[in-house]
Structure 1
Amino acid sequence: MSKKWKIKLTDWFLRRYTARFGRLQDKSTFDGNMHFDNIVIYSTTALGDFMFNTPALRAVRERYPDAHITLVVHKKNQELVENGRYYDRVVYWNSKVKTMGELVKSLRQHQPDLALILHSHLPYDIISAVMAGAKYIIRDNYSSGISGLEAWLTNYIFHYYGHFVRRKLELISILGCRSDDPRMEVPVPYQPGIKSTEHISVGFQLGASSESRCWPVSHYAKLANMLVAQYPQVRIVLIGGGSSEVEKAAQFLQQIDPSTAACVDNQVGKTGLQALITLIDSFHVLVTGDTGPLHVAVALQVKTISLFVTADSRSTGPIQDNELHRIIQVSRTGYTMDLEKESPMGVIQPQRIYDEVVDHLGLNK
């Protein structure tokens, strides 16, 4: 079914459902001074998206310290949310229509007065919020428009140019939440990492959500060879989790020099989220594209060198502790395809990142 028809069908269903059962209130009745006893917050997408949402989670809890807050997330982020400090309960949902009934049943155990959709999948998030009994729904739309469903939202944002974190805070400012604290954080207890005093630990995140955001494996291999050849105390740690990243790690190991291989620790596919957090916390610096581990490192105040070509660092780059983060933003304009055989990110050459690593860690002093 096309998105257009899916939205039309959703609107048709909601009109009939709310006429009989819904508690949804007209947006004109909303007042930012209202007290909400039960709140549900949706953040059902990727790791990086969840990290962007942590300042908003904190702000909502500060605004409603006594409310019962339910967090809806994907099961893959379980280790990042269990026993978190800004919500009372976690419900797992894969954003599929066939599991929506189970979600609604669970949400009705603490029937929400307010649904805050920070990042989820249209239209099932809105449907589930209405069916759970939400009186008001606030949603970050992440697009130019969702024509046909605006009537079901109390507040939403379109065409916001700026960092995603600040967009979330702007979205919830209608509730009277503070919007001046964009610091991301890991919202659950974790085992801190220990930085070695004998070696310099340089993390490489080889993968990303799309190939267009991945720095070429061949460039990572050249960077590793350059670093180890000049600084024998460097240890390269590979991180990642998906099958494509396992394949990239294998390619990396095939392309590096034998002398470099002895200084590489391949952790791809070997860590859950909790172990990944501890591992990243032990890095002296992380080299990465625009992906979840970058935002974890930013939250942990670990130095990063982040690479942007197809993404815009003004929207998704590091937003705090600027002195810890080097952002490489390059336009593709004027570059040839020879520089992009593996990925558009190939326009950023290994020598540039080598120089950044050396300078950022003070290795040339």
Structure 2
Amino acid sequence: MNLYNAFVMELLRLVFLGVRLLDRRPPPSKDIRSARSVIVFSTTAIGDTLMNTPAIRALRKALPGARLTAVADRRRADLLRHNPHIDALVIYPGKFRKLFSLFKKLRAARPDWAVVLHGNDPDIPILAYLSGAPGRAGWRESRMSFLFTHAPTIDRDLPFVRRRLDLLAELGVPEEGERTEITIPPDAREAAARRLAAAGVDGAEEIVAFHPFGSRRSKWWPEGNGRTFVQRLTRETGRRTVVLGGEKEKASAEAFFGRMDERPVVLCGEMGLLETGALLLRCAALVTTDSGPMHLGFALDVPTVALFGPEDFRHYGVGHREGKAVFRMGEAPCERPCKKKDCDVEGHPCMASIAAGPVLDAMQSLLARPTPV
């Protein structure tokens, strides 16, 4: 954050601190279950959005007659677009963008409660306050936590799904399990089938989705490991590899795999979230780093091998059905979790130490397990 932005944020904080001190409304009961309208904020990454779905499900179960409105980031809104537990979806356009239009939509919901499940942008607590909700829940660690009426402290030893559920437990909401979920509509499934056919993948051909990238370079599985995995997967199992990723990874994918004899199908940057989910449903398995596709695989019950290096899988590796996921964590002399964007340790050991052979063995073992009921 540059000095100007830091100054603006501090000014806003002081303004709303004054507004809050002048607000004489008594805080509501800590029990949310009598609410008739609730807004939930889920405005961060793919994984965060999906890890919020157990909390949304729990809210719906606890408040069957209430109107639930979800506020989601414009880039990840599709993850909640067909969620059966919400009544309305409001698009969050980005930090301090189109605030008046967003403000009107939130006020129109006439919320009794606003719950910030996860929202890193500094205007989210402000929007929760301006929504008019008498009850507002979020985390004490937020710089704007004084705008919440209920703000417990984050237990950083807990998995992220568990943290959200515990926030709701503070409000009287019992949990409805930790599994994440997403609904894939028929048109996305049809689009994925057409895309695979256009890439020359036969409808009966067994395929494995592969995502060696990540939100930062330190999470990437090294090129040599990925190439060896694709080569062995093709030769030893006869399955075809489909490489997934965003537009930013397209050039890297072509450089990594373009000249291989066992060239995979590269679909980086060609699909939205729902079509990617539909494609995963078509796959025998998914091999992925700690990333958005990993969370999609968990939510869709796709057999998933997840490769962790800088982060701790015990925090992120949740939300899947038991028996549907295995984890491989690299060895490194570093302290983890590590938030570096690029690894400065020679050889990038936390990811490079995850060899292709054990990953393939883990995938084969996962596919050999009986399908869980």
Into which bin does the TM-score normalised by the smaller protein fall? 0.7 to 0.9
CA distance in 2, matches of 1:334, 1:45: 27
Taking a change above 3 Å as real, the CA distance of residues 12 and 325 of structure 1, as seen in their structure-2 partners, is same
Paired letter, 1:137: R
CA displacement at 1:361 relative to structure 2: 3.2
Structure 2 unaligned runs (5+)? 194-200, 336-343
Paired letter, 1:30: S
CA distance in 1, matches of 2:164, 2:129: 21
Selected match of 1:179 from 175, 179, 186: 175
Q: Give the 3-state SS of the residue equivalent to 2:252 in structure 1.
A: helix
Does the alignment pair 1:168 with 2:175? no
CA distance in 1, matches of 2:154, 2:307: 27
Taking a change above 3 Å as real, the CA distance of residues 203 and 186 of structure 1, as seen in their structure-2 partners, is same
Instruction: Tell me the residue number matched to 2:196.
Output: none
Selected match of 2:353 from 347, 350, 356: 347
Paired letter, 1:339: G
Q: Provide Cα deviations, 1:331-350, integer angstroms capped at 9, x if missing partner.
A: 3128995532xx84222122
Return 289-298 or 214-223, whichever deviates more: 214-223
Q: Provide Cα deviations, 1:59-86, integer angstroms capped at 9, x if missing partner.
A: 1111111212211111112332224311
Selected match of 1:219 from 225, 232, 237: 225
CA displacement at 1:47 relative to structure 2: 1.1
Selected match of 1:246 from 240, 243, 250: 250
CA displacement at 1:119 relative to structure 2: 1.2
Taking a change above 3 Å as real, the CA distance of residues 179 and 246 of structure 1, as seen in their structure-2 partners, is same
Instruction: Tell me the residue number matched to 1:51.
Output: 50
Instruction: Tell me the residue number matched to 1:93.
Output: 92
RMSD of the alignment, in Å?
2.9
Q: Give the 3-state SS of the residue equivalent to 2:77 in structure 1.
A: helix
Q: Give the 3-state SS of the residue equivalent to 1:92 in structure 2.
A: strand
Instruction: Tell me the residue number matched to 2:240.
Output: 235
CA displacement at 1:188 relative to structure 2: 5.6
8 A Cα contact 2:20 2:147, kept in partner: no
Does the alignment pair 1:12 with 2:20? no
Instruction: Tell me the residue number matched to 1:119.
Output: 118
Paired letter, 2:155: H
CA displacement at 1:33 relative to structure 2: 5.7
TM-score (norm. length: structure 2): 0.84
CA distance in 1, matches of 2:203, 2:366: 17
Report how many aligned residue pairs link the two structures. 349
TM-score (norm. length: structure 1): 0.86
Return 353-362 or 299-308, whichever deviates more: 353-362
8 A Cα contact 1:318 1:325, kept in partner: no
Selected match of 1:152 from 148, 151, 164: 148
8 A Cα contact 1:204 1:238, kept in partner: yes
Taking a change above 3 Å as real, the CA distance of residues 25 and 330 of structure 1, as seen in their structure-2 partners, is farther
Paired letter, 2:305: I
Does the alignment pair 1:284 with 2:284? yes
Q: Provide Cα deviations, 1:318-341, integer angstroms capped at 9, x if missing partner.
A: 34323121111233128995532x
**Percent identical residues:** 24
CA distance in 1, matches of 2:109, 2:144: 29
Q: Provide Cα deviations, 1:163-184, integer angstroms capped at 9, x if missing partner.
A: 1111100011122212251111
CA displacement at 1:293 relative to structure 2: 1.1
CA distance in 1, matches of 2:162, 2:139: 12
Taking a change above 3 Å as real, the CA distance of residues 160 and 103 of structure 1, as seen in their structure-2 partners, is same
Instruction: Tell me the residue number matched to 1:72.
Output: 71
Paired letter, 2:296: V
Taking a change above 3 Å as real, the CA distance of residues 196 and 36 of structure 1, as seen in their structure-2 partners, is farther
CA displacement at 1:40 relative to structure 2: 0.9
CA displacement at 1:284 relative to structure 2: 0.9
Instruction: Tell me the residue number matched to 2:339.
Output: none
Paired letter, 2:358: R
